[in-house]
Amino acid sequence: MGSKSKTTTLTQPVITEEVSEQILGPRRKQIGILGGTFNPVHIGHLIMAEAVGTTLGLQKVLFMPDNQPPHVDHKDAIPVGKRVTMLQAAIHDNPLFDLELAEVKRGGVSYTIDTMRALKKAHPDTDYYFIIGADMVAYLPKWRDVDKLLKLVHFVGVKRRGFAPASPYPITWVDAPLIDVSSSEIRTRVQTGQSIRYLVPDCVRAYIEKEGLYRE
């Protein structure tokens, strides 16, 4: 007769999270941030955020619309409120996703270093994973104070057609479905009367139609 092994099933945590934090100090949070102009938000943004959040086991992925992007001519942009409305509608049914309005509230040009300094000061117990497409990875050397920014966030790269997944900086590449969609393509399609069904969530498509966005 072999000896019987005894299995114990724990139905209650041995110590509560509160007690654990008293002993070990505050538990660090792992939060993703997808910054962008979202003019408009499209399925590429949603799929990359879902892939990074679930692959890295992040507690949240925050979608952070910029007020004014640092590197592009902003004349074509629609009012920030409309970009935020579309973003809010697009992410509302995913519990992993949330909106971060720090840059909109601050106003002016949205340099990421300014934003991340403020967020780290407000949430010192959080590790931030700043998610960028391969086009932005290629552009990183031109970001303001990128060396200082690298000490505040982990950069997570997602591949994008036409851009090599390579960088002199320490980037964590996450394998996400390759989605060949861009906001500029959506704007052009609307302007030229082509369908954007399935390229943006239906609520976003309805809003673009109702508000008559991107026709000019």
Ligand X SMILES: Nc1ncnc2c1ncn2[C@@H]1O[C@H](COP(=O)(O)OP(=O)(O)OP(=O)(O)O)[C@@H](O)[C@H]1O
Q: Which of 86, 90, 132, 196 binds ligand X (CB under 6 A)?
A: 132
Q: Does 46 bind ligand X (CB under 6 A)?
A: no
Print the binding letters for residues 68-97 with ligand NCN: x by CB under 6 A, - otherwise: -xxxx-------------------------
Residue type, 122: A
Question: Which ranges constitute the DSSP H helices of 92-162?
Answer: 102-106, 112-122, 134-139, 146-152
Tell the smallest beta-carbon distance from residue 185 to ligand X (Å). 7
Q: Does 188 bind ligand X (CB under 6 A)?
A: no
- According to CB under 6 A, which one of 38, 63, 97, 128 is a site residue for ligand X? 38
Residue 181's binding partner, choosing from ligand NCN, ligand X, none, with beta-carbon cut-off 5 to 8 A by kind?
Answer: ligand X
Rounded CA gap, 111 and 127, in Å? 19
* Residue 37 touching ligand NCN (CB under 6 A): yes
Cβ neighbours of residue 152 closer than 8 Å, sequence gap 6 or more = 113, 116, 117, 120, 128
Name the minimum Å distance from CB 20 to ligand NCN.
Answer: 34
Helices and strands (H, E) in the chain, number of each type: 9, 6
The residues with which 130 forms a beta bridge, in sequence order, are 33, 155
